[in-house]
Chain A
Amino acid sequence: MTAPVLPPSLVENPRLDRWIRFQPDRTVRIATGKVEIGQGVVTAIGQIAADELDVPLDRVAVLSGDTTSGPDELYTSSSLSIEVSGSSIRLVCAEVRAKALERAALRLNCSRDDLTVVDGQFLQDGAPTGQDYWTVAAEIDFSQSVTGTAPVKLATTYKAVGQSVPRRDLPAKVSGAAFVHDVMPRNLLHARTLRQPGRGAVLLALDEAAIRRAAKGELQIVREANFVAFVSPVESVAQAAAVAATLHAKWESVRRITLEQQEAAWLQGQPSDDRRIGAPPSEKPPGRLVQMTISRPYVAHASMAPSCALAEFRDGHLTVHSHGQGMHLLRKNLAVALALPIEAVTAQHLHGAGCYGHNGADDAALDASLIALRLPGHCIRLQWRREEEFGYEPVGPAMLVTLHVDLDDKGRPADWTTEIWSPTHVQRPGSNSGFLLATEALANPPPEVVPSDPTEARGGGGTRNAVPIYDVPAHRILHHLILRAPVRTSALRGLGALPNVCAIEALLDELAARVGEDPLAYRLSILSDPRARRVLQGVAERAGWNTRGPAGTGKGLGVACARYKNRSAYAAVVASVTVEEAVHVERVWCLADAGLVINPDGVRNQLEGGIVQAISWTLKEQVRFDEQGIASLDWDSYPILRFSEIPQIMAELVGDDGNPALGVGECSVGPTAAAVGNAVAHALGVRLHDMPFTRERIMTALLKKA
């Protein structure tokens, strides 16, 4: 018999005691390396464990993001938490259940098959035995490695899995303290930073006297090379000092950027790392070549809360609390940056506001730690200023996508080239592609990284979802990874999926129009994947697609479909819009197939959130630059979708529980943006190629048409 293939998390963290512990209060603690970022993962993990162990949900405590006791599962990213952590915990719990039953059978001198588990108690022929997980736990060697050989429950027997269990963390969040921002112990010092305005900038002079005058209170100034922080027992004093410092600091060697760099069009022609993925270049000269170009600008994560971290250095040990997405990686990165042995650093997750990817969370943790090392024995609470969050978080990269498609004599794609220009989508610290921001301000900054993107095996970055789900005989990607972006870029929900899906789906509408076919019928004529067909046909039915009117009336209906990363959840979306001077998205229908769903309401919440965020990106969002860097530093200059602009949304799941659980957190963003793009094109009778769809762009397109 061959050994089962274990999920990567179990390969890296094989010991059972990294995952599970039976506690004296008759609860079982399940540890996960994935963290709660508003997506409900902690609740879902608890559901999986409860079913596999046969204990009620309220006996399962979930420890999340803890470097002392919990597993290292890298970052909470890429819609992988249920696929990887969930399946790991399922195997661990099944194995522990089997071991516990074995011990109980020995004690009871019976066969394991005579025993059943109810509420964590072991019953023999239905009668209590006095034995349960907690009585036998001491006899189980939890230092053993998980083998993955214990049989897991059949999906048909699940009790908690598949139920819309309410989120465990939400009651606290609607009634009081709930976030890392809300932790203020007695020995607390508040801190703010003065940010180095870009790599290489040198602080020539800092008028500390002027800053102290503005701060109006007890203030310590921590300075290390080009890193400066203001520390005070009074939060407003630290804040006032940092605000004043921006006026009283003289920098030299500040990199300048230009306005034109804020547009995706600037990317074309920049130095790039070029590669081809997929089919070799076509040898046949194109007969009926059609092209489609779509662009998206730089987009901010724009978390509701500025990044925040707590750090305390006491007796040579640094303890950090952070809302970052991967505590073990944060611990490693902090140890390197601070030249501390890894054993001298503990990192623990506390909740923050939604991040939707790599924002300033990890950077704030280093800022806090740098100060903590200088002021041992104090808990340092470092919070970024609002303008710092907008100005210094890594942003989602601009992208330009051009499709070159040669058609067969039936007007179907015969040869398809997707050409992509994009800066890197991942500069997460510790992934050999980036580092914690403040390291650039220290005496020996790390060398500049050569940008890289996630590999195709990990779903790609700029190339994510560049391969159409439709039947295309020959497909290739030409990826131009831009080597030097004007600003720091990193992971934003979906990575390249949104522009790529938009380009594919825009082109399909155009191809359908060329042969005079309905866009839905055209898609179905080149779509073999039965799961994709099911969501596409289903969403069209729900949305009343067959009542779709003619183009150019100001009212539009658009459809789009994709499978996230070409391997996670399927989502099909129909959007209905009216366009006058601006685009109003009136209704959105979404059907998704995520296979086995742990928590249906949680998944619908994620689908809905992705829909709203994608509409916001598509209609409103662009990070603005000036010479100094990012210039959109507040919510007025970086507007997002508001309550008055929210469409009526229907999100429904149609997956089959017999299929494995698929990552779902990002699957609705690409199809939503694409459906909106297609609906706008239908409403106007002319396509907008560049996001966001501003009033100005609508007017320009209409004038061009006329």
Chain B
Amino acid sequence: MAITFAVNGVARQVNAPDTVSLLEVLRNHLGLMGTRYGCGLEQCGCCMVLVDDQPIYACTREAGTLDGRRITTIEGLGTPAKPHPLQQAFLEEQAGQCGYCLSGILISAKALLDRNPNPTRAEIVEALDKHLCRCGAHQRILRAVERAAGLLRGRPA
């Protein structure tokens, strides 16, 4: 079937079985590789994307259920040349080692900061607790989200 949705602000149409996962559509049909496969079980958070501003696991979500929705992936935040304040903060804090978990974490952090521009450390931990990081960069990641919140608050509207 033809599935139509807005991905990172651009209308996209994909011809795929409606049971195919959003993750496969993003990566294999649309070439958006920043959303990553980790477990396929909603256990690790590597595949997190925003659907209408809510973080969801792309690995298990059937693409057919998303017709007409707005999807944001890590590519929708910014680029190395023009990073989003969250990406900038992660780089400033060197918040990561292998980096495989980071795009999912950045997406959950964006959802948090969009609804709560001034989160406490505990609120950040709660928002990220569904994400796994095996390298142990957690403390840097938490600091980076705090720094990003500061950058965003200081940014002229």
Measured CB to CB, the residues of A under 8 A from B are: 37-40, 164, 166-167, 169-179, 181-182, 184, 216, 234-236, 302-306, 351-354, 356, 383, 386, 601-602, 605-606, 608-613, 616, 634-636, 640-644, 646, 648-649
Q: In this assembly, does B72 line the interface, its C-beta being within 8 Å of a C-beta of chain A? A: no
Whether A171 and B83, one on each chain, are in contact in the complex, defined by CB atoms closer than 8 angstroms, is yes
Q: In the complex, which residue of chain A has the Cβ closest to the Cβ of B96? A: A170
A176 touching B33 in the complex, CB below 8 Å, given contacts A236-B21, A354-B97? yes
Whether A173 and B96, one on each chain, are in contact in the complex, defined by CB atoms closer than 8 angstroms, is yes
- How many B residues, CB 8 Å from partner? 55
Chain B residues 2 to 38 lying within 8 A of chain A, measured CB to CB, are 17, 20-21, 24, 27-28, 31-34, 36-38
Whether B136 and A306, one on each chain, are in contact in the complex, defined by CB atoms closer than 8 angstroms, is no
Shortest B6–chain A CB gap in Å is 18
4 A-B pairs with least C-beta separation: A612-B136, A173-B99, A38-B98, A354-B98
Shortest A652–chain B CB gap in Å is 14
The CB with the most chain B CB atoms within 10 A, among A166, A173, A606, is that of A173
Whether A174 and B94, one on each chain, are in contact in the complex, defined by CB atoms closer than 8 angstroms, is no
Chain B residues 58 to 91 lying within 8 A of chain A, measured CB to CB, are 74-75, 77-80, 83, 87, 90-91
List of A residues within 8 angstroms of B98 by Cβ: 37-38, 173, 304, 351-354
Whether A176 and B34, one on each chain, are in contact in the complex, defined by CB atoms closer than 8 angstroms, is yes
Whether A305 and B38, one on each chain, are in contact in the complex, defined by CB atoms closer than 8 angstroms, is yes
Whether B136 and A305, one on each chain, are in contact in the complex, defined by CB atoms closer than 8 angstroms, is no
A-B pair count, CB < 8 Å, reads 175
Q: In the complex, which residue of chain A has the Cβ closest to the Cβ of B100? A: A353
Q: How far is the CA of A125 from the CA of B75 in the complex (A)?
A: 50
Q: In this assembly, does B147 line the interface, its C-beta being within 8 Å of a C-beta of chain A? A: no
Whether A611 and B136, one on each chain, are in contact in the complex, defined by CB atoms closer than 8 angstroms, is yes
Whether B36 and A643, one on each chain, are in contact in the complex, defined by CB atoms closer than 8 angstroms, is no
Q: In the complex, which residue of chain A has the Cβ closest to the Cβ of B86? A: A174
Shortest A260–chain B CB gap in Å is 28
Stretch at the interface among B48-56, B112-120, B138-146: B138-146
A-B contact pairs, 29 of them (CB 8 A): A38-B99, A164-B94, A171-B87, A172-B80, A174-B90, A174-B106, A176-B34, A179-B33, A181-B33, A181-B36, A304-B100, A305-B100, A351-B98, A353-B100, A353-B101, A353-B134, A354-B100, A386-B38, A601-B94, A616-B136, A635-B41, A636-B43, A641-B136, A642-B129, A643-B125, A643-B131, A643-B138, A643-B142, A646-B142
List of A residues within 8 angstroms of B77 by Cβ: 175
Whether B101 and A304, one on each chain, are in contact in the complex, defined by CB atoms closer than 8 angstroms, is yes
Q: In the complex, which residue of chain B has the Cβ closest to the Cβ of A190? A: B28
* Interface residues as binary, B132-157 with A (CB distance below 8 Å gives 1, 0 otherwise): 11111111111000000000000000
A356 touching B99 in the complex, CB below 8 Å, given contacts A634-B41, A643-B125? no
Whether A640 and B134, one on each chain, are in contact in the complex, defined by CB atoms closer than 8 angstroms, is yes
Which of A173, A182, A646 is B102 in contact with, Cβ under 8 Å?
A173
Shortest A466–chain B CB gap in Å is 25
Q: In this assembly, does B111 line the interface, its C-beta being within 8 Å of a C-beta of chain A? A: no
Whether A354 and B134, one on each chain, are in contact in the complex, defined by CB atoms closer than 8 angstroms, is yes
